[in-house]
Structure 1
Amino acid sequence: MLKNALLFRRIAGNWQHSRTVGRRFLSSSNGAGANVLQTLRDRGLVSQVSQPESVLENKLVSGEKVGLYCGADPTAKSLHLGNLLPLMVLLHFYIAGHDVYTLVGGATGQVGDPSGRKTERAGMADWQRLENVSKIQGQLRGFFESGLAYYKHKTASVEHQYGRATHTNNYDWWHDMRMLDFLALYGRHIRVQSMLNRDSVSSRLGSKEGIGFNEFTYQILQAFDYYHLNKTHGVTVQVGGNDQWGNITAGIDLINRVGCTAQNQPFGLTVPLLTTSSGEKFGKSAGNAVFIDPHLTKPYELYQYFIQVSDDDVEKLLKTFTLLPLEHIKETIDAHASMAHERGAQRLLAREVVDLIHGMGSSNDAEIVSEVLFGAHDLGSSATELIRLFQDANILYTCSRNLSLEQIITQVAKCSKSEARRKLKQGSIYVGPRRTKVAENKDDVAQYLIDGQVLILRVGKQKCYVIEVK
């Protein structure tokens, strides 16, 4: 259990206001007849909307239900934070009662999207692509399940009508498609001049490497995906990043040329490129992408990533990556301004994002792990709790009770005996939750153990090891 009074009050206070926040949720333009588009604008989640924008807005205000989709190609094992922006748009529509569709490019992933690239993508083995498809589909499904649970928790027992979430793979409608049949049915509706003018193509045409026919035709494949979902599921809005605008408008053009009803008129919506206040692309940690797969980016690492964001960025990220009402975010930022050193806004952001992505309550574990590794608090956690938390995070070390402190340092820090001895003499070894400095080798480490079972060992200021002593 947490015994640190300040930390406990901070966490408890967060849960105590949940019902108040819930009431605010339903009064802040979510629900039937709400203009979700304006909600997204207020949160900075809209970059472009295809014309006529007013028609889409009128549909939403009048209470008409719309279907939306966004897609992801299986180019990696996991979605990353950048992929979450269009998914957050879908989540806002989903909790407002609209139907959302996700698409994994099991077929288009074989071709490769040239958007935002100066060179052609490297080929990928079939087994790797299929494995990525499976993992990303699971992540998309999990995101909307966790997102709905997160929203329901915030709104407590309030009755509310949600939409449906459907998850698709475009391989399902492409694998039987014959090239000649496709050209005969749809080739006449595709304008080559429009394809040549799109940024993803024109920028490559002027380069030394040029562009292959496979990537040149990618926009046709994505356009047909939109047409297929529009025709079979009534999807009328495609959501994507700014770099997808050309592919989205290609789909709108194909649907309009083949023919659609006023009811199924297509629209496109893009989200802005998310950057930090310093102009860097958001979602990188030490040069690497921050993934939503808990095995690639552990929940405590995700928590710590958001704890580290600057004061200049935290308000924008609270609007972008949480469903907290805007008035609650404003109150948080106002309170944060007078005690920025406490990083209260960042802690709220980190908790909300971890709960949204990994499930309600997961932020509690992530916060404790993060505080043990990087904080300066004595959390008062029991040995049993620490063993569970660090086992779940896959960062629990074990060692024999018969080892001296020097031997333990050598084992877990992967250093030589002489180096371990030198660190002890230099005073760079700390033990226990209170960071007690140890300057000599002790044969018996029992005096430093929590409940006689767990040793917290710090080597210098950066590295911390939680060790089960058996």
Structure 2
Amino acid sequence: MTNVLDELMWRGLVAQTTDVDALRAALDDGPVTYYCGFDPTAASLHHGHLVQLVVLRHLQLAGHKPLALVGGATGLIGDPRMSGERVLNDPATVAEWVDRLRTQISGFLSFEGENAAQMVNNLDWAGDLRALDFLRDVGKHFRLGTMLAKETVARRLNSDEGISFTEFSYQILQGMDFLELNRRHGCTLQTGGNDQWGNLLAGVELIRKADKRPVHALTTPLITKADGTKFGKSEGGAVWLAPDMMSPYAFYQFWVNADDADVVGWLKIFTFRTREEIDELAAAVQDRPQAREAQRVLAADVTTLVHGAEATAQAIAASQALFGRGDLASIDAATLASAVVGLPSAEGKAGDQVADLLAATGLVQGRNAARRAIAEGGAYVNNAKVTDQDAVVSAADALGDGYVLLRRGKRHLAVVRLGA
């Protein structure tokens, strides 16, 4: 059986490790208790966290024991950014976000069996820690030279805004997390994004100095597109995992629109497809790119992983129905509302002529062009062809929360929201 570390490497999920041979041996000898931390600095996890959740799941499936840490303490501070001091969120907000993140994370791991996952919160050991104890027992093991050399800290020190002691101390708090989990649970591996390498090393060094024990760290690469642009629905935008911050339909659409140059790499990183399956999909990208088989598998797998099979089926059905390959009436109101976001739109009311609405949404240039489109058989209301140039929409045409879908030709869509 392939060592899970080799599997992670093949999938492009390993950027750096403290000692690759020692880590491979430890995983072979296993089981290893490992952890990844998630700070509640927003109300949802995003695509960057999804990479870590996938790594946690791979390791658990290989027989190792995960600890998922939600940072109720570190979330009150925030990891320093490359520019600008973070706005500190109030404790009540952070506590609410802790609960939301715990719920999201729990869907990726198994909490039963011999290697059952466990959820932990660093507020349990940091919340009542006295300042003097923190400085004497933890702070004494950190050297300013090493802390100042960290890229984020160095950049902030050379900027106009500088860095506060609060954010500067974050790396000590994260190092203390690894020490506590090592002492409490025998945790010997921490995983995280490559931008966290310095923080992971802080924990490795703290355990070595304080308790004279060797432990391991592994980071994943930061995911970018093949053209070098940021990974997200827009430049710098996040692909949120919470359905109230990014609907399952929009989430599915992000993945199904993956570029051919990205899709095979993303199948390796974000899905649990086998090497053989991914090789077949890679061949399909080369031989039948217009079919977009790999993109559809990627979108279905990742959306199911994050939102479940039912939400994925709704997203696929809505995607097909918009272009006449399914029943629009079967799509639930929330999915339909998400599906029409971004389409050209207009307000209307029952009794308005279809020709006027086609022009109002911009699908055609003016009423005469709309009547010609109808006469030529190229106009549709809710995927039903309109043949009468004087046809009107009625209240019975309203879908979901009052939407009427208009289409010109095969691919040009718009939506009308019917009012009173």
Q: TM-score range by the shorter chain?
A: 0.7 to 0.9
What's the counterpart of residue 350 of structure 1?
Answer: 299
The CA deviation at 1:36 is: 0.6
Within 1, Cα distance between the matches of 2:273 and 2:380? 39
The CA deviation at 1:440 is: 3.8
Amino acid at match of 2:98: V
What's the counterpart of residue 65 of structure 2?
Answer: 99
The CA deviation at 1:77 is: 1.1
Deviation digits for residues 51-98 of structure 1 (CA, Å, limit 9, x no counterpart): 2x2122112223x10011111211111111111112211110011111
1:404 is aligned to 2:351:
yes
The CA deviation at 1:441 is: 4.2
The CA deviation at 1:356 is: 0.9
Amino acid at match of 1:79: L
Match 1:75 to one of 37, 41, 48: 41
Work out which structure has the larger RCO, using CA pairs closer than 8 Å and 6 or more positions apart in sequence: 1
What's the counterpart of residue 272 of structure 2?
Answer: 323
Within 1, Cα distance between the matches of 2:313 and 2:86? 40
1:281 is aligned to 2:230:
yes
Deviation digits for residues 206-227 of structure 1 (CA, Å, limit 9, x no counterpart): 2222211111111000000111
Deviation digits for residues 402-446 of structure 1 (CA, Å, limit 9, x no counterpart): 922449987x99989xx9968845849942454636784424659
Amino acid at match of 2:25: N
The CA deviation at 1:247 is: 0.5
Within 2, Cα distance between the matches of 1:207 and 1:464? 47
Amino acid at match of 1:188: K
Within 2, Cα distance between the matches of 1:447 and 1:111? 53
What's the counterpart of residue 136 of structure 1?
Answer: 101
Within 2, Cα distance between the matches of 1:161 and 1:326? 27
What's the counterpart of residue 26 of structure 1?
Answer: none
**Where in structure 2 are the equivalents of 1:363-378 lying within 5 Å?**
363-373=312-322, 376-378=323-325
What's the counterpart of residue 188 of structure 1?
Answer: 140
Amino acid at match of 1:55: A
Q: Given the two structures, how large is their TM-score scaled by the length of structure 2? A: 0.85
Within 1, Cα distance between the matches of 2:290 and 2:384? 21
Within 2, Cα distance between the matches of 1:325 and 1:207? 47
Structure 1 pair 423/69, CA: closer, same or farther in 2 (3 Å)?
farther
Within 1, Cα distance between the matches of 2:82 and 2:320? 39
Query: In structure 1, the residue corresponding to 2:192 is in which secondary structure?
Result: strand
Amino acid at match of 1:457: L
What's the counterpart of residue 41 of structure 1?
Answer: 9
What's the counterpart of residue 59 of structure 1?
Answer: 26
What are the ranges of 5 or more consecutive residues in structure 1 without an aligned counterpart? 1-28, 149-159
Mean Cα displacement is larger for which, 135-144 or 291-300?
Answer: 135-144
Give the percent of matched residue pairs that are identical in Structure 1 and Structure 2.
37
Structure 1 pair 76/234, CA: closer, same or farther in 2 (3 Å)?
same
**Where in structure 2 are the equivalents of 1:253-332 lying within 5 Å?**
253-261=205-213, 265-285=214-234, 288-332=237-281
What are the ranges of 5 or more consecutive residues in structure 2 without an aligned counterpart? 341-348
Amino acid at match of 1:43: R
Query: In structure 2, the residue corresponding to 1:288 is in which secondary structure?
Result: coil
> Would the aligned equivalents of 2:174 and 2:199 in 1 still touch at CA under 8 Å?
yes
Q: Given the two structures, how large is their TM-score scaled by the length of structure 1? A: 0.77
Deviation digits for residues 254-301 of structure 1 (CA, Å, limit 9, x no counterpart): 11111144xxx3111000011101101213336531101111111111
What's the counterpart of residue 431 of structure 1?
Answer: 380
What's the counterpart of residue 13 of structure 1?
Answer: none
**Where in structure 2 are the equivalents of 1:108-187 lying within 5 Å?**
108-114=74-80, 116-144=81-109, 163-187=115-139
Match 2:333 to one of 382, 387, 390: 390
Amino acid at match of 2:12: G
Query: In structure 2, the residue corresponding to 1:256 is in which secondary structure?
Result: helix
> Would the aligned equivalents of 2:233 and 2:254 in 1 still touch at CA under 8 Å?
no
What's the counterpart of residue 343 of structure 2?
Answer: none
> Would the aligned equivalents of 2:406 and 2:414 in 1 still touch at CA under 8 Å?
yes
Amino acid at match of 2:333: F
Mean Cα displacement is larger for which, 345-354 or 124-133?
Answer: 124-133
Query: In structure 1, the residue corresponding to 2:107 is in which secondary structure?
Result: helix
Mean Cα displacement is larger for which, 277-286 or 160-169?
Answer: 160-169
The CA deviation at 1:128 is: 2.5
RMSD (CA atoms): 3.5
Amino acid at match of 2:3: N
What's the counterpart of residue 153 of structure 1?
Answer: none
Within 1, Cα distance between the matches of 2:51 and 2:127? 29
Mean Cα displacement is larger for which, 364-373 or 344-353?
Answer: 364-373
What's the counterpart of residue 50 of structure 2?
Answer: 84
Structure 1 pair 438/68, CA: closer, same or farther in 2 (3 Å)?
farther
